[in-house]
Amino acid sequence: MVLKLKEVTKVIAQSDLERPILDQVSLSLAAGESLALTGESGSGKSTLLHLAGALDVFDSGEIYLDDQPLSDLSEAARAELRRTSVSVVFQQFNIIPSLDVAANIALHARLGNRHDAEWEAYLAERLGLSDLLHRFPEQLSGGQQQRVAIARALALRPKLLLADEPTGSLDEETGQAVLALMLELIRETHSALFLVTHSPTIASGLDRQLHLQGGRLR
Enter the pTM of the model. 0.93
Q: Is 169 in contact with 143 (CB distance < 8 Å)? A: yes
CATH class for domain 33-56+74-217? Answer: alpha beta
Sheet holding 60-65, edge to edge: 17-29, 3-14, 60-65, 68-69
pLDDT tens-digit profile of 123-143?
A: 999 999 999 999 999 999 988
Going from N- to C-terminal start, the domains of the chain cover 33-56+74-217
H or E segment and range at residue 172: helix 172-189
Give CA–CA dist 14/111, Å, rounded: 37
pLDDT at 151: 94
CA dihedral 142, 182, 42, 4 (to 10 degrees): -150
Q: Quick check: 205 and 47 in contact, CB under 8 A?
A: no
Q: How much is the pLDDT for 53?
A: 94
- pLDDT, one tens digit per residue, over 99-114 is 999 999 999 999 999 9
Alpha helices in 25-169 (DSSP H): 45-52, 75-84, 101-111, 117-126, 142-155
The total of other beta-carbon atoms located within 10 Å of residue 65's CB is: 22
pLDDT in the model for residue 18: 84
The pLDDT of residue 111 is 95
- The pLDDT, as a whole number, for residue 59 is 95
For residue 92, give the DSSP letter.
T
- Please check whether residue 50 is in contact with residue 56, taking contact to mean a CB–CB distance below 8 angstroms: yes
| pLDDT recorded at residue 25 | 97
Per-residue pLDDT of the chain (218 residues; tens, 9 = 90+): 999 999 999 998 877 788 899 999 999 999 999 999 999 888 999 999 999 999 999 999 999 998 999 999 999 999 999 999 999 998 888 999 999 999 999 999 999 999 999 999 999 999 999 999 999 999 999 889 989 999 999 999 999 999 998 888 778 888 888 889 889 988 888 899 999 998 888 999 999 999 999 899 98
Check if the beta carbon of residue 5 is closer than 8 Å to that of residue 35: no
The CB-side HSE value for 137 (13 A sphere, CA atoms) comes to 17
Residue 139: count of CB within 10 angstroms of its CB: 12
> How many Cβ atoms are within 10 Å of 190's Cβ, its own excluded?
12
What is the rounded CA–CA span in Å between residue 143 and residue 171?
8
